[in-house]
Amino acid sequence: MSDHVDVPEDHPRHDSLLTRHRIEDGVDRGITSRQGLIAQGRGEAYDYLLGERTIPSADEAERAAAAQLLLADHPVLSVNGNVAALVPEEMVELAEVVGAELEVNLFNRTEERVAAIAEYLHEHGAGEVKGLRADGRIPGLSHERAKVDSDGIGDADVVLVPLEDGDRAEALAATGKVEIVIDLNPLSRSAQSAAIPVVDNIVRAVPNITRHARELADAPRDELEAIVADFDREAALAAAERAIRTGGDGEE
Ligand code: ATP
């Protein structure tokens, strides 16, 4: 992470401070909403409690997420204003490695912000970016918050939704799509409704899912299916809670 702000390399919370500056920069560029600053603050608090590292259960979830994305017929990675500000290149790279589409999907949707995020992803190497047509709906949500592309998230079988609002994550899971959530709060409704909850900071989670996907790229289908089947979402959520409560790595 570079960015214009000078944070001393040896500062004990170097990565956390750079992450915060990226979000501020996102707000200045019009890609992140002001509510995004609040979501960032909540995330930071949980990351602090988790020791600002990828705990073993999160690494397992990231491997299962990679396998699930490789198995999918039509995987889509959802991008909101915080995701775009924090990991634009990393999302483009993951989409390439697993053959997924990128779709801009916002809780507080404005056409300007959708276009700004799509443009920002293009600047970071993305080809086609979905989310501009918004001609489909997720059932069970009010009009603006329900919008998706009918040939994007609307048609996907597996969706990665990082840093998602709880209501929308629940509504999406209820459509029967396989939902992979990245969220630092193991108690959030988003993490609780996911088939694969990844309790880790997105700045660590996305590159690690990509690394696993590269390793698994040539694995036979039955091996990928076994990785997904062996993943225990309840155990992963419990391990993250334990890590927060005990300060350990969450393992029993
Ligand atoms: P819920 O209803 O599920 O409790 P919410 O609708 O209140 O969630 P938001 O306030 O929109 O959710 O917050 C988004 C979530 O993203 C929070 O749970 C927060 O912990 C998480 N989050 C924020 N920043 C990051 C990050 N960098 N990496 C991973 N998760 C993050």
Per run of 10 residues, the mean pLDDT along the chain (length 252 residues) is: 65 85 96 95 96 97 98 98 98 98 95 97 98 96 92 98 94 96 97 98 98 98 98 98 95 92
Q: Which pLDDT value is given to residue 143?
A: 82
Q: Is 20 annotated as a binding residue?
A: yes
d(CA 129, CA 248) in angstroms, rounded, equals 40
Q: Is 202 annotated for ligand binding? A: yes
pLDDT at 4: 54
Q: What is d(CA 23, CA 17) in angstroms, rounded to the nearest whole number?
A: 10
Query: Helix, strand, or coil here: 150?
Result: coil
By the 10 Å C-beta count (0-12 exposed, 13-18 middle, 19+ buried), 205 is classed as buried
Reported as half-sphere exposure (CB side, CA atoms, 13 A), residue 31 has a value of: 24
Please name the amino acid found at residue 165.
D
Ligand 1 pocket test, pick from 21, 23, 184 with the greatest ligand atom count within 8 Å of Cβ, gives: 184
Q: What is the pLDDT of residue 76?
A: 98
> Between the CA of residue 141 and those of 147, 182, 183, what are the distances in Å?
9, 21, 21
What is the pLDDT, as a whole number, of residue 14? 82
Rounded CA-CA distance 187/196 in Å is 14
Please name each of the domains of the chain with its CATH number.
56-243 (3.40.50.12640)
Contact 143, 113 (CB under 8 A): no
Q: Which tokens is 119 given?
A: 């443009």
Residue identifier of the C-alpha nearest atom 28 of ligand 1: 201
21 with 3: CB under 8 angstroms?
Answer: yes
Compute φ and ψ for 127, nearest 5 degrees.
-85, -120
The set of protein residues with a Cβ atom below 6 angstroms from ligand 1 is 39-40, 42-43, 46, 86, 163, 165-166, 182-185, 188-190, 201-202
Write the single-letter amino acid at 233: R
Tell which one of 47, 168, 190 to mutate to probe ligand 1, the residue whose CB is within 8 A of the most ligand atoms: 190
